[in-house]
Chain A
Amino acid sequence: MDDLRDKISLYLYDELPAAERDRVEAEIQTSAEFSATVENERRFLEGLNARRDVKPPDALLAECRQDLMRAVYHEHPPAAPTWLQSFFGMFSGSGMAWQPVGALALIAIGFFGGRSWNQEQQTQPQASELAANNSFSNVQSVEMDAGQVRIVLDERRTIEGAPNDPMINGLLISSSQSPNSGLRLESLDVLQRRSDNRGVREALISALLADANPGVRLKALAALAPHRRDPNVRQALVATLQSDGNAGIRVQAIDLLTAEPDRELVGILQELVQHETNNYIRFVSQQTLHDLNASVDNY
């Protein structure tokens, strides 16, 4: 009987195996005392429902979501696309029809690339041999002109200096616009330490607004973060928020802008609430409008 009494709560929770449940039910049928004990326990457990069930207020849930997604986006900023992703990206906007073209082009690159690499491999020993005897590995072009040969050498020079050296700075700004995205990224990496300089800031803004590589734009954005109060930077952040094709970069931009919201943002945020495709940005826009006591609708 005592053993069965210990089973009552599990019986009421319907958590007993069938054999034990049958034993409890048989006892209920035969013992009025046991039946009363079960009833008493049932009332007790039902009585526990009087505890107030705390339901999370919507505002708290919204804050939790905002904090979480902020942390997630900061933890995992968008990566710069690989050349392969960029390549397929050229075809993705035009629908499925262009994807086979992309695939064919890739096969062609592989085929001809492989052939030329093979040819290069075959000629390489000859070239090395010549290079060992004559230092012409840095010849850029050869022309015949009036019986004379003109050879243009691509000379390499190494320049060293402090990051605040005007010549170094100028070269870095120039290389931040190089066709080579890796070089642009490296240049911005150095330049970001000099973002107090007006010229550097302009180069960073230019990269943020115009660079085709999202990794470079993201680097520029990070470098501009300490200057988010600068009106020119703010204007660039707004333009990024409104037109950058990369949602991750737009997220970073809205975080910087709304870190210190002002009423000039109201119209832009209202527009974002209506048209932005990214949930997080819409959500932050709504929250900021709420904080600014502004309507989410633009009339």
Chain B
Amino acid sequence: MELAKAESISPGVAPPAPALSETALIEAAQRKDPDAFEQLVRLYDRSVLRVTMNVLRSPEDARDAYQEAFLKAYRKLDTFRFQCSFHTWLYRIATNVCLDQLRRKGVRKEYGVDDRDENAAPNPLQLASDGRPEANPDRALTGSELGRRIEGAMEALSPKERVVFELRHYEGLRLRAVGEMVGISEEAAKNCLFRATRKLRVQLEDVRS
């Protein structure tokens, strides 16, 4: 069944194929060769910045996350043992930086959604009609209005759910890889994705109708 394929619902791009000289670059960067590190950065930084922007939704926060993630990578590069792909290792650092930022900003508290309470009824405030035109189910939403509603709904996810959903749905990464990056098992990543899609359905119920 065609629609079952992840690619059919994910506009994300696959991670860049490693350059032939990637191993040599990593080894040189491990010896603290800044030029080699810079070349490594350029292989991956566009996709890292895109993910941080999409997760954090703020260019300033994304810029901070970019800097923090790559500096961490530079400082910890000598601990990289080629046991996973460099891309996975780098994304793991970047997603953890994003998670930390989201947690610091208290996304979950702000929107009153909690991992531990996934079966609880949604916050009535979130479901109540807010009077905005885009909340009117009788009216077809334009693309940009729908985008904003989805953006608002995404805010209801916990940091981890948000990162997992972002990486799976928008980046098109497999949940096994997502789990590795976020530091959870594949099964936990599945649960996270399931909770995320369920919350989004609730948040966007009026849009669906």
Q: Mark A32-66, 1 if CB is under 8 A from B, else 0.
A: 00000011101011111111111110001101110
> Across the interface, do A64 and B63 meet the contact criterion of CB distance under 8 Å?
yes
In the complex, A69→B74 CA distance in Å? 10
> Across the interface, do A68 and B194 meet the contact criterion of CB distance under 8 Å?
no
Chain A contacts for B200, CB-based, 8 A: 48
CB closest residue in chain B, given A15: B175
In the complex, A69→B34 CA distance in Å? 8
CB distance from B1 to the nearest CB of A (A): 6
B139 located at the interface, meaning its Cβ lies under 8 Å from any Cβ of chain A in the complex: no
Q: Mark A150-194, 1 if CB is under 8 A from B, else 0.
A: 000000000000000000000000000000000000000000000
CB distance from A33 to the nearest CB of B (A): 17
Interface class of chain A by DSSP: helix
> Across the interface, do B71 and A51 meet the contact criterion of CB distance under 8 Å?
no
> Across the interface, do A13 and B193 meet the contact criterion of CB distance under 8 Å?
yes
Interface-central residue, A6, A65, A251, A280, by most chain B CB under 10 Å: A65
B201 located at the interface, meaning its Cβ lies under 8 Å from any Cβ of chain A in the complex: yes
A111 located at the interface, meaning its Cβ lies under 8 Å from any Cβ of chain B in the complex: no
CB closest residue in chain A, given B39: A279
B50 located at the interface, meaning its Cβ lies under 8 Å from any Cβ of chain A in the complex: yes
In the complex, A65→B34 CA distance in Å? 12
B57 located at the interface, meaning its Cβ lies under 8 Å from any Cβ of chain A in the complex: yes
Chain A contacts for B35, CB-based, 8 A: 247, 278-280
> Across the interface, do A68 and B41 meet the contact criterion of CB distance under 8 Å?
yes
A297 located at the interface, meaning its Cβ lies under 8 Å from any Cβ of chain B in the complex: no
In the complex, A92→B170 CA distance in Å? 49
Chain A contacts for B74, CB-based, 8 A: 72, 75
> Across the interface, do A28 and B1 meet the contact criterion of CB distance under 8 Å?
yes
In the complex, A6→B119 CA distance in Å? 13
Chain B contacts for A136, CB-based, 8 A: none
Interface-central residue, B151, B174, B194, by most chain A CB under 10 Å: B194
Q: Mark B58-96, 1 if CB is under 8 A from A, else 0.
A: 010011001100110011000000000000000000000
Chain A contacts for B8, CB-based, 8 A: 42, 46
Chain B contacts for A55, CB-based, 8 A: 50, 53
CB closest residue in chain B, given A45: B9
CB distance from B57 to the nearest CB of A (A): 7
A109 located at the interface, meaning its Cβ lies under 8 Å from any Cβ of chain B in the complex: no
Q: Mark B167-209, 1 if CB is under 8 A from A, else 0.
A: 0111000110000000000000010011001101100100110
In the complex, A50→B4 CA distance in Å? 19
> When A11-B4, A15-B175, A53-B11 are in contact, do A65 and B41 touch as well, CB less than 8 Å?
yes
A228 located at the interface, meaning its Cβ lies under 8 Å from any Cβ of chain B in the complex: no
Which of B144, B193, B197 touches A52 (beta carbons < 8 Å)? B144
In the complex, A278→B36 CA distance in Å? 11
> Across the interface, do B54 and A54 meet the contact criterion of CB distance under 8 Å?
yes
Which of B6, B11, B46, B50 touches A54 (beta carbons < 8 Å)? B50
> Across the interface, do A14 and B63 meet the contact criterion of CB distance under 8 Å?
no
> Across the interface, do A47 and B146 meet the contact criterion of CB distance under 8 Å?
yes
> Across the interface, do A60 and B59 meet the contact criterion of CB distance under 8 Å?
yes
> Across the interface, do A60 and B6 meet the contact criterion of CB distance under 8 Å?
no
Residues 11-29 (chain B) with a chain A CB within 8 angstroms: 11
In the complex, A247→B46 CA distance in Å? 25
In the complex, A93→B10 CA distance in Å? 52
B42 located at the interface, meaning its Cβ lies under 8 Å from any Cβ of chain A in the complex: yes
> When A48-B200, A76-B34 are in contact, do A64 and B154 touch as well, CB less than 8 Å?
no
| Given A14-B6, A67-B67, 4 additional A-B pairs, CB 8 A | A10-B193, A15-B193, A47-B207, A72-B38
**Hey, which bits of chain B sit against chain A, CB under 8 A?**
1, 3-6, 8-11, 32, 34-35, 37-39, 41-42, 45-46, 49-50, 53-54, 57, 59, 62-63, 66-67, 70-71, 74-75, 143-144, 146-147, 150-151, 154, 168-170, 174-175, 190, 193-194, 197-198, 200-201, 204, 207-208
**Hey, which bits of chain A sit against chain B, CB under 8 A?**
6, 9-15, 21, 25, 28, 38-40, 42, 44-56, 60-61, 63-65, 67-69, 71-73, 75-76, 247-248, 251, 278-280
24 A-B contacts (beta carbon < 8 Å)? A9-B198, A10-B194, A12-B9, A13-B10, A15-B175, A25-B4, A39-B3, A45-B9, A47-B146, A49-B10, A51-B154, A52-B147, A56-B49, A61-B46, A65-B45, A68-B45, A69-B34, A71-B71, A72-B38, A72-B71, A72-B74, A247-B35, A248-B34, A280-B34
